[in-house]
Chains A and B, each alone.
Chain A
Amino acid sequence: MPPANFEDKLEMSNRTKLQDAGLDWASDIFNVLTNQDVRQVTYVPDGGHARLITLVHQSGTMRAITLTTEEEGVALSAGAWIGGDRSVLLMQSSGVGNCVNMLSLIRVCKIPFLTIVAMRGEWGEVNEWQVPMGSATPAAFGLMDICVLRADSAFEVAGVIKAAAAMVFDGGTPTAVLLSQRLIGAKAF
């Protein structure tokens, strides 16, 4: 092994560390959701969502709802809307495939559906088992005609979430935001 030089260290940092550039992007997401009056936050956790989930549990206005599988969150978002609440589903990319049939409910009933997906299986992923569903995530949403937006860096998170929330809650277009693994950081073994 050659001695690690500066570029190697930088590359290691890019692969395994949070690319937050000092920005608290999880708080940015929380603030957009608060401003949009989102009340029900359903999730199957991911490390990339951990800080946001903590903020939601501490919130006085949002209800944090832990799921056993992601499609529960899709059905919950329809019920929340029928009952008058805005909601968001937080999940990891591997959960997107679990949602495909339940997304029929979103399409047929025209539910304002927002989901934020922490990506795995892309930038620097060392667990091959995460790669097939991670690679197929945008296409899986596309199959069910869910609009897909993406945030690759900390400074663009707030803007992308704001744009997605407007499309969903003002425009009625069901939308998924993918938070890049480059933003979140790859999990190291």
Chain B
Amino acid sequence: MAVSSRIVALALITAGAVGAGTWAAARYLSRPARGAAAPPAAAVQAPEAARRIKAVLYYVSADGLRLAAAERDVLFAEHASEQARRIVEALLEPAPEGFSSAIPAGTELRGLFVGTRGEAYVDFSGSLRTNHPGGSASEILTVYAIVSAITANLPAITSVQILIDGHEVDTLAGHVDLRRPLPNAPQWAEKGTT
């Protein structure tokens, strides 16, 4: 009895997580991103075939010490993991005018996978590490540009672990502990969204 109720509970939790992911993908436009001053406007700009949503992405601030939030159009996806993938892909594109990217050039997304505890595993090509300029400030900006972009836009995902070439890594450049999923840390972002 206890086992079967646990199974039912598990099924409900799993269904709830999937539902939350779908809800999040459809609804996250209506909530303010953490660190953002105002909620981004809901916007489904294209017909069903290529719906786009506005997501808050993170770039290097003018002083080079913090992340600056900027709204970008990102392809809509039904499921949280697919939406997270599209957000990261948008983050890897060249930064918009007036911003610089916190992600080293040439970095590719190899895969993205969401575990049972709302933790996303984001697998990048080795250039995320080999092309990294080093320094803890740069490393913090790279790591939290990724963590923040996913967690601030998708409430169903609460933490992010960065993998390189399919493997866990200690750090990217010798500072930030990447051995476990990291929750968002809004203190690295400037207040306000462009």
Q: Do A and B come from one complex?
A: no
Q: Which residues does B use to contact A, with CB under 8 Å?
A: none
